[in-house]
Structure 1
Amino acid sequence: MRPFRHLCLLSLLACLGACGPNQDPEVLTLGGPFEFTSQDPARDGFVYTRLQVAESLLEVDDAGRLLPGLAQGWAVDDDGLTWHLRLREKVRFHDGLPLDADAVVRALEIARRKPGVLRSAPIVEIRAEDRLGVAIRLARPYNPLGALLAHYSTVILSPASYRDGSEVGWMQGTGPYRLEAFDPPHRIRVTRFDGYWGTPARIPQALYLTGHRAESRALQVMAGQTDIVYTLDPASLDLLRRQKDIRVHSDAIPRTIQIKLNAGHPFLAERDARLAMSLALDRQGIASHLVRVPGMEANQLIPPALADWHLDDLPPIRRDPERARRLLADLGWRPGPDGILQRAGQRFRLTLVTYADRPELAVVATAIQAQLREVGVAVAVGIVNSSGIPSAHHDGSLQLALVARNYGNVADPLSLLAADYGDGGNGDWGAMGWRNEELPALLRGLEAERDPARYRADARRIARILAEELPVIPVLFYTQQTAVAARVRDFGFDPYERNYRISRMSFASP
């Protein structure tokens, strides 16, 4: 950290400390970077599953295996066309209404009409079989359905939650906490729900705060203003680790920092041009010195946690600027007077955009800019709202974007990969202007494949195609950095980022 910045941080820390620490024994205060604007699961459901207000039919363990949630069990017919789910007995929504099949059918029908994961599923009908039985009939076998039923956009809400048919007026979920105060985009308060069907929460209340800069969030936990801060910036890690009353947790999650690129752009259409850019990157240096988590350099898109989709035999991608220059020279690029490559009167100049929600992205983008400059590629870096990246994808203006792609958004990444790389090869966060004839057929086949060995073999074939063709360039596997105040006991982290697990936490005795 530069001395001037270090002094500024310490000065701000002193100001925050003067406000007094948060020692309320009834309230757990959490800080994160992501703002929210609604109570609609389709838009902001991630907030409410993390705060344990809303729950889904199925859950996911740390290894990505499906577990019972509000559904205590499920079965699939031999033809793969109908899923049968059995709901738990004696579950009540926060408004006192009982969970039953009719409520589940209504919530899922609303979810499939809105933007979200259920739109991709070939659902023909969702119906109640009896008071606690739900059947989902499909047009064709679709293995990812179980993972979709564990997604935040498919949480089950009380019928009283909705107004005007499908808009959420006030969220009435089934979780160990109920929504008490909603102040978008920065503040949510939840209170323990004493009628919870499972193990009751230990801490009476939790307060979620968002919208602050990463440096400010780090200083708030150091000053005792916040108990837990998620998604720290690399510059704050050393300072936080020196605090005796704070613990920093580093957890690998199935998310990859990667360069989304427009393979339809004339500079990026050749596979060797994309390979040259990949070889120009010093992943080891970025991981060790900038992000400060050695060993997280990525040699493929899918992280090791998603074992069916990860290639264990793939070697690391070592930086090789000389080979990168040769590949570009073979494509007709020649250095200009200032060292920037030129071809047919055009300079090899591109714009790389990223977003501030993940604070390490701007730091990594700057390093990528410098490393590509060394092989003759000029890159301008811009910061946009995260929504600006899919928007630029759709209007065709995107050239390069550095993103942190969550491959654990659902427990099985098949539906996500189909959206990113399936028919047309154009996904909002995946490929752009790239086609491969084999890959879409493999993705479609996996939707119905019930043999685990064949599923794994085809999944890894897909991973190899992506590693060889580079429609997207992997940079780093993601490590979530979380600062936790010493008074918090039993902190746990969900690698799929579905649940903050606050109901399991407690406070140390004064």
Structure 2
Amino acid sequence: MKFRIAGIAAIVAIAAVTVSQFTQPTSSQTLKISGPFEYSSQDLSKDGYMFTRMQVVESLVAINKKGQVEPQLAVAWTVSPDDLEWTFDIREGVTFHDGEKLDAAAVKLALENAMAKPGVIKRAPISEIVANGNQLTLRLSKPYNPMLSVLAHYTVAIASPSSYNEEGTSTSLAGTGPYKIAELVPPHKIHVTRNEGYWGSKAKIENVEYLAGHRAESRALLAQTGQADIVYTLDPASIAPLQQTENVDVVSESIPRTILLKLNNEHPYLNSYQTRQALSLALDRTGISKQIIRMPGSEAYQLFAPSLGAWHIEAFAQTSRDIAKAKSLLASQGWQQNDQGMLEREGKPFVVNLTTYSDRPELPVVATAIQAQLKEVGIQVDISIDNSSAIPAKHQDGTIELALVARNFGATVDPLALLLKDFAEHKGSDWGPTNWSSEEFSALLSRLSATKDRADYQQQAQQASQILAQEMPLIPITFYTQLVAVNKKVGNFSFDPFEINYRISEMTLND
């Protein structure tokens, strides 16, 4: 009992410290948001998702609540008959937060800076960008269907020319959004205030603060005590007590994000699809879905959730755990059980390291379950819990073996643009595959990029998904459900399943 009391006291203390970092109330309304993610810069290629969510920066186009592309800073666009020129009419009468005028030249600079950095637009076949007054033209070297969804991505948001330093990195961010930056305290705090000169409908709430907090239990306590109005990315254990809290609603939203195992496909123990299939068959996804995620039916035997349409395989073969088949596949790769029931090959044990991060509170718990489940087939998994930045770092330096991550395949609505980036080279990408490539798969992606016919697109997307399901360069675990605590004084709350925009300008505060 003493341990339990001490643990609760520690959580309360952490929550108190977290709350103290929120600005003290003023005469104006302030919406207080908490989430797990920190930021380190104003560079849109790294941390732009925080500034699109806080509605500081906007893009040429946006994704509406139906998942469709709609005008934002571009009011209209046309495409040439050969699909090689995209011409955008830039919205007139818009100014950046620093007072500078939005025009095609400012958009061109922002896009060129984005193309020079990691991001989805880097792989778009743009050969030239031409600015002429309030008209911007993108000239392509070949047709590229995902162009509009790419232009909605946070890495391609439009900032004022004054935002960028000589290297093209945004260091003093001025956007066009309904909120402008009032205070930044990296890595935890963002304070934005209403942009009174906004071109569209003005925000209802004057001030909004975001405060990062890694511990899920402390963030849930902020919601319970009313010290945060909206808390994103709750852990499942927090649901029951929050549902019993009188002034809080718990919102559950399915999103096109998949919890998956990222593998080094050139690791000597993981470099065959038979071994990767064995790992997949050894996993008890139903148990993870019910007992850890606490979302029955969220099991993922393929990478793409049903909401991703053409990429989701309706009649998928594997729908349950199969230990016997897993062991048979491992034996076919030369692995034999020793006296302790663990696998060995040529005198070496099957031991791999799994890295995950606590930014998403369920991941360390899922990692522990995977560790126990793979032990049943004789595989020893050592777990390293780190910050989320460890995943791209280990990918880049080649030390990654296994990693448990949550990947948003709907960041560009249709995953094609993301896949073109992830699979552009054999090394893969920070959050995508590692050291895997397929000529057939690459050819399919290339054809999909230029395919207009919906039926042909569906057929080719299904073929691409089947290849990933067979080769398993990434092993899916569960589809993701976002859990959000919302104080009842917040009006007009809605959740963006593509995680681009917190939609705070639409909300109201009713004290």
TM-score by length of 1: 0.94
Q: Which residue of 2 aligns with 1:50?
A: 53
CA contact (8 A) 1:422 1:439 kept: no
What's the offset of the Cα at 1:269? 2.1
CA contact (8 A) 2:256 2:497 kept: yes
Q: Structure 2 counterpart of 1:348, which letter?
A: F
The answer on 1:120 being equivalent to 2:123 is yes
Cα separation, 2, equivalents of 1:474 and 1:169: 37
Structure 2 unmatched ranges of 5 or more: none
Cα separation, 2, equivalents of 1:119 and 1:418: 10
The answer on 1:239 being equivalent to 2:241 is yes
Cα separation, 1, equivalents of 2:435 and 2:470: 16
DSSP-derived class of the 2:497 partner: coil
Q: Which residue of 2 aligns with 1:221?
A: 223
Q: Structure 2 counterpart of 1:197, which letter?
A: W
Q: Which residue of 2 aligns with 1:74?
A: 77
Structural mapping, 1:158-197, within 5 Å: 158-164=160-166, 166-197=168-199
What's the offset of the Cα at 1:17? 7.8
Q: Structure 2 counterpart of 1:442, which letter?
A: L
Q: Structure 1 counterpart of 2:226, which letter?
A: G
Identical-residue share of aligned pairs (%): 48
Q: Which residue of 2 aligns with 1:488?
A: 490
Cα separation, 2, equivalents of 1:38 and 1:17: 26
Q: Structure 2 counterpart of 1:257, which letter?
A: I
Change (3 A) 1:466 1:65: same
Change (3 A) 1:15 1:46: closer
Q: Which residue of 1 aligns with 2:324?
A: 322
What's the offset of the Cα at 1:165? 6.2
Most deviating of 483-492 and 151-160: 151-160
Cα separation, 2, equivalents of 1:430 and 1:110: 23
Cα separation, 1, equivalents of 2:211 and 2:29: 16
Cα separation, 2, equivalents of 1:454 and 1:127: 32
CA contact (8 A) 1:280 1:320 kept: yes
> In the comparison of the two structures, how many residue pairs are matched?
507
User: For each residue in 1:461-494, what CA deviation from the matched residue of structure 2 results, as whole angstroms up to 9, or x when unmatched?
Assistant: 1011111221111100011111111211111100
Cα separation, 2, equivalents of 1:210 and 1:44: 13
What's the offset of the Cα at 1:145? 1.7
Q: Which residue of 2 aligns with 1:8?
A: 7
Cα separation, 2, equivalents of 1:16 and 1:382: 26
Cα separation, 2, equivalents of 1:182 and 1:153: 19
What's the offset of the Cα at 1:217? 1.0
CA contact (8 A) 1:279 1:317 kept: no
The answer on 1:466 being equivalent to 2:465 is no
User: For each residue in 1:289-316, what CA deviation from the matched residue of structure 2 results, as whole angstroms up to 9, or x when unmatched?
Assistant: 1111111110100111111211112145
Most deviating of 218-227 and 18-27: 18-27
DSSP-derived class of the 2:47 partner: helix
Q: Which residue of 2 aligns with 1:287?
A: 289
What's the offset of the Cα at 1:4? 5.4
Q: Which residue of 2 aligns with 1:98?
A: 101
Cα separation, 1, equivalents of 2:292 and 2:359: 17
CA contact (8 A) 1:58 1:70 kept: yes
Most deviating of 6-15 and 349-358: 6-15
Cα separation, 2, equivalents of 1:68 and 1:497: 18
CA contact (8 A) 1:175 1:193 kept: yes
CA contact (8 A) 1:59 1:69 kept: yes
CA contact (8 A) 2:14 2:218 kept: no
Structural mapping, 1:306-317, within 5 Å: 306-315=308-317, 317=319
Change (3 A) 1:483 1:44: same
Most deviating of 317-326 and 466-475: 317-326
TM-score by length of 2: 0.94
Q: Which residue of 2 aligns with 1:399?
A: 401
What's the offset of the Cα at 1:460? 1.3
CA contact (8 A) 1:151 1:410 kept: yes
Cα separation, 1, equivalents of 2:152 and 2:65: 13
DSSP-derived class of the 2:331 partner: helix
Q: Structure 1 counterpart of 2:8, which letter?
A: L
Change (3 A) 1:332 1:77: same
CA contact (8 A) 2:247 2:487 kept: yes
Change (3 A) 1:168 1:473: closer
Change (3 A) 1:166 1:390: closer
CA contact (8 A) 1:357 1:386 kept: yes
Cα separation, 1, equivalents of 2:319 and 2:414: 26
Cα separation, 1, equivalents of 2:14 and 2:62: 42
CA contact (8 A) 2:214 2:358 kept: no
DSSP-derived class of the 2:250 partner: strand
Q: Which residue of 1 aligns with 2:250?
A: 248
Structure 1 unmatched ranges of 5 or more: none
User: For each residue in 1:177-207, what CA deviation from the matched residue of structure 2 results, as whole angstroms up to 9, or x when unmatched?
Assistant: 1111111111111111111111111111101
CA contact (8 A) 1:297 1:475 kept: yes
CA contact (8 A) 1:17 1:223 kept: no
Most deviating of 111-120 and 68-77: 111-120
What's the offset of the Cα at 1:243? 1.1
Q: Structure 1 counterpart of 2:508, which letter?
A: S
Cα separation, 1, equivalents of 2:334 and 2:400: 24
Cα separation, 1, equivalents of 2:185 and 2:484: 24
DSSP-derived class of the 1:499 partner: coil
